[in-house]
Amino acid sequence: MTLQRLLSYTRRAVDLYHLIDDGDKIAIGISGGKDSLTLLYALHGLKRFYPRHFDIVAITVDLGLPDFDTSEIAALCEKLDVPYHVVKTDIYQIIFDQRKETNPCSLCAKMRKGALNDEIKRLGCNKVAYAHHVDDIIETFLMSLIFEGRLNTFAPNTYLDRMDLHVIRPLIYVEEREIIAFKKKYDLPVVKAKCPADGFTKRETMKQLVKSLEAENPRIRSCLFSAIEHGNLKGWEPDSDYKGRL
């Protein structure tokens, strides 16, 4: 995937769901993985020509994982002229060494988001961009359906009233395979995750389920995403101005 194609996907999401307004200061959560680094490129590129002016800052929550090195991410942010902030935490030690959690993902996500949101507000941002892509949205939809018995997934734009913060997801039209191709093409400085729970989650189970269904229906991802996009789910209502131009 080229940068031009990435920006096309990103602008479509931003326009259709009105993700960006004039004067926004948007925090980008950088985990060190391929998805968040692709998002950094997407919003940095969009900023150069988008008619609504906005600023971006990059934030990494350091969970305290052994050998987690953000120096290459910092170098990329410097190259792109994007302010970069690292929040040091003891989340890893609390979850695995002290509490010895057997199902750590939910608590880890909650603590990580808490640390990220505190830094976002300290920096004066009114929005935070997450790098959830097509596959994330589909997998979350299936987890909600199978394990909770309800139809739900990430929305393109969510308002957190207690934080007075908008969560936006500009990569909703990008598939994971395209992000992998982008990572290789642009040599993104990915920091490998070393979490003990990595690869042993319900999300990984859903990923394998979609792969198995793909053998029967090669269009399974587009079918599931279309069902989400047109299924009247909360938060998936297109911007009225944009919808009028369709």
Tens of pLDDT along 229-240? Answer: 999 898 899 887
Quote the pLDDT of residue 246: 45
From residue 53, how far is each of 21, 26, 116, 217 by CA, in Å? 7, 11, 24, 42
Out of 59-63, 106-110, 195-199, 225-229, pick the least confident. Answer: 195-199
CB 171 within 8 A of CB 13: yes
What Rg value do the Cα atoms of the chain yield, rounded? 18
Domain CATH number, residue 225:
3.40.50.620
- Residue 56: which pLDDT band, with cuts at 50, 70 and 90? very high
Quote the pLDDT of residue 197: 64
Quote the pLDDT of residue 53: 96
Summarize the confidence of residues 212-222 as an average pLDDT: 93
Quote the pLDDT of residue 77: 97
Summarize the confidence of residues 11-28 as an average pLDDT: 97
Q: Which residues contact 123 (CB under 8 A, 6 or more apart)?
A: 25, 27, 57, 59, 85
Q: Which residues contact 198 (CB under 8 A, 6 or more apart)?
A: none
Summarize the confidence of residues 146-160 as an average pLDDT: 94
Question: pTM value?
Answer: 0.91
How far apart (Å, rounded) are the C-alpha atoms in residues 59 and 46?
Answer: 19
Average pLDDT, the chain: 91
Domain range for 91: 3-243
Count up the domains in the chain and report the number. Answer: 1
How far apart (Å, rounded) are the C-alpha atoms in residues 78 and 95?
Answer: 32
Going by DSSP bridges, is the β-strand pair 24-29/127-129 parallel, antiparallel, or unpaired? parallel
User: For the segment 172-197, what is each residue's pLDDT rounded down to a tens digit?
Assistant: 999 999 999 999 999 999 987 676 66
Q: Say yes or no to pLDDT of 44 above 60.
A: yes
How far apart (Å, rounded) are the C-alpha atoms in residues 238 and 98?
Answer: 45
Out of 19-33, 59-73, 128-142, pick the least confident. Answer: 59-73
Quote the pLDDT of residue 154: 94
